[in-house]
Amino acid sequence: MNDMQKHFHKIPSVNWLIEELQNDFPGMKAEYLQRIILPCIEQVQQNPHKFNIEKHDKDAFRTRILQSLKNDLNQLQRGSIKKVINATGVILHTGLGRAPVNSDIIENLQTVNRYTSLEINLKSGKRGQRNDHLSELIRILTGAEAGIAVNNNAAAVMLMLNTFGNRKEVILSRGQMIEIGGSFRMPEVMRMSGCRLREIGTTNKTHLRDYEDAINKRTGAILLCHTSNYEVKGFTAHPDLEEIAALAQRHNIPLIFDLGSGSLISERIFGGQTEPDVSSFIEAGIDLVSFSGDKLLGGPQAGIIAGRKKWVQKCAKNHMLRALRLDKFMLKTLQQILIRYITDPESIETVIALKTGREELIERCNDFASKLSELDAEIETVPSAGKTGSGAYPLMELQSAAVRIKPRSKSVNWLASKLRQNHIPIFGYVEDDSLYLDLRVVTAEEENEISRVFKTLL
Ligand SMILES: *Cc1c(COP(=O)(O)O)cnc(C)c1O
């Protein structure tokens, strides 16, 4: 028996803990409580020091353990997925859940929480396709003949590749052999989809004749990838989309394009720059384009495929679709956001966030900074560079503004950590001993919460 083990009689019994906890959490099964209690007891046995077992008498120690378990259960009951405030200036922050979706769009989920017309054709009473709820909207918004949606864009790419390239070759330029975050590497994705990768060209230059020379009777598709997180500059070449499209059409091979972040807005946004929208790729003759629902589109996680009806229908018949399809909640949310693009795109939160200019942000930062003037910190509004995020135009900086806060008597890391652990966690970014808060995607209500918290901290 070592020194510590002589204190182990103070550890409360599992049965006593279960009974006590059931007073506070009467709905919880003893079995579940036991699974929560046991690891806690094990921790005490392994590291009794940490729990100060030697400093407590038996009664005090079991009260301490009971209280710690009560805290754990309260936390479990609240759930770990929380609302947070995004003051990072990155609109589509993958760590913070990508696109902000309008709350009035989410409210529509209440209409489908029970039974829905998910796969019933209400006119005929016969079995319908869940994709019928989206195809027409995608057609109107992109000019494509048809559309289909799955769980995310990675799934959309796999579905297209497997549909056309399974046991066949898929042609891809070496300049577009992308890896995006989270282990999505095109050569791997191809292998998983059953395709043989047929690499062509070089990193910096690929010519039309490279595409042409690679086509043979085993070719299943030509793939183009949006190089969403890098740019090849200098001595470079790649044929125009129209030229590749014409080539693909001549050989009756589908030309598919992994856009990643597809935008449905064609006007000048993004700080005055124009980026091609999905329609322009369809117009250029791409047979199928795929893009994410929760990137520039500003909707829920989803992958949308738009393009020629005959190819979309082939994707729809692939048995893989069963594993990739959307459930009623995501389908409803995606449908609502697509409808909103048709009827009132200016009201979509992600669109508003992208369009907000620096002047407006400076004004908001100044107002906000003036509310914090009493704090023990240096506070000023500074121009900053926001980001779209999620591989959407990674090299393009948004003209943004931020409030810079430099605490006088506390460290900036202490401040950032306190903010992260707020009951509504707050995320800014730290640079040069200062905390920066970019208010682009922070609501007025959230600003109030931030200033309330700051007054308690500094
Ligand atoms: C983001 C992205 C993907 C993956 O999309 P998810 O919706 O995250 O699955 C694939 N390809 C490109 C080019 C991307 O930018």
For residues 171 and 211, the answer to whether their CB atoms sit within 8 Å is yes
Range scoring the smallest mean pLDDT among 35-39, 369-373, 444-448: 369-373
What is the average pLDDT across 186-198?
95
Query: From ligand 1's centre to the CA of 104, what distance in Å?
Result: 26
Question: Is residue 269's pLDDT more than 70?
Answer: no
The more confidently predicted of residues 7 and 211 is: 211
Pick from 377, 363, 368, 358: nearest CA to 415: 377
Give the residue among 69, 89, 78, 9 at the shortest CA–CA distance from 436: 89
CA distance 56 to 236: 72
CA distance 80 to 91: 22
Alpha-helical (H) ranges within 259-357 are 278-283, 309-317, 321-324, 328-343, 349-355
Structure tokens at 166: 């399974």
By three-state DSSP, how is residue 33 classified? helix
- Residue whose tokens read 């009689």: 9
- CA of 316 relative to ligand 1 center, distance in Å: 20
Q: What CA–CA distance (Å, rounded) separates 308 from 291?
A: 15
Residue 228 Cβ < 6 Å to ligand 1:
yes
Tokens representing 452 are: 């309330």
pTM here? 0.92
Q: What is the token pair recorded at 373? A: 């003037």
**Residue 403: per-residue pLDDT:** 96
Percent of the chain residues topping a pLDDT of 90: 83
Q: Which two tokens stand for residue 44?
A: 């005490």
HSE toward the beta carbon, residue 311, CA cutoff 13 A: 25
- 229/114: higher pLDDT: 114
Looking at the CA of residue 261, tell me the nearest atom of ligand 1.
15
Contact status, residue 439 vs residue 398, Cβ threshold 8 Å: no
| Whole-number Å distance between alpha carbons of 435 and 324 | 41
Q: Write out the two tokens for 238.
A: 């790649």
Atom of ligand 1 nearest to the CA of 229: 15
Residue ranges and CATH numbers for the domains of the chain are: 8-76 (no CATH), 85-93+353-457 (3.90.1150.110), 103-345 (3.40.640.10)
Residue 311 · residue 305 · CB < 8 Å? no
pLDDT over 70 (residue 303): yes
Q: Which two tokens stand for residue 85?
A: 């405030």
Measured in Å, residue 406 CA sits from the centre of ligand 1 at 37
Q: How confident is the model at residue 183 (pLDDT cuts 50, 70, 90)?
A: confident
The answer to whether the CB of 161 falls within 8 A of the CB of 314 is: no
Name 291's bridge partners.
Answer: 260, 304
If you take atom 15 of ligand 1, which residue's CA is the nearest one? 260
Angle at 96 between CA 95 and CA 98, to 5 degrees: 95
Q: Are strands 426-427 and 85-86 parallel, antiparallel or unpaired?
A: parallel
Pocket of ligand 1 contains residue 151 by CB under 6 Å: no
Q: Using the mean position of ligand 1's atoms as its centre, give its distance from the Cα of residue 223 in Å.
A: 14
Q: Does ligand 1 come within 6 angstroms of the Cβ of 278?
A: no
Instruction: Please name which of 120, 122, 140 lies closest in space to residue 130, comparing C-alpha atoms.
Output: 120
Radius of gyration of the chain (CA): 27
Which pLDDT value is given to residue 267? 66
Residue with structure tokens 């989206």? 134
89, 174, 155: which is closest to 442 by C-alpha? 89
Q: 299 CB less than 6 Å from ligand 1? A: no
Beta strands in 217-320 (DSSP E): 219-225, 255-260, 288-292, 303-307
Token readout for 27 is 């709905």
**Residue 408, both tokens:** 């006088």
Longest dimension (CA), the chain: 85
Strand segments, DSSP code E, in 356-396 are: 377-387
- Give dist(CA 355, CA 272) in Å, integer: 9
Q: How confident is the model at residue 341 (pLDDT cuts 50, 70, 90)?
A: very high
- Nearest protein CA to atom 12 of ligand 1, as residue: 260
- How many residues are listed for the chain in this entry? 458
Query: Measuring from atom 2 of ligand 1, which residue has the nearest CA?
Result: 260
Note whether 362 and 266 are within 8 A (CB).
no
Choice from 153, 177, 395 to test ligand 1 binding pocket (greatest atom count within 8 A of CB):
153
| 302 Cα nearest atom in ligand 1 | 7
For residue 293, which atom of ligand 1 is closest to its CA? Answer: 7
- Residue 310: exposed, middle, or buried by beta-carbon count in 10 A (0-12, 13-18, 19+)? exposed
pLDDT single digits (tens) 198-238: 999 999 999 999 999 999 999 999 999 998 777 888 889 99
Closest CA to 261 of 77, 167, 390, 96: 390
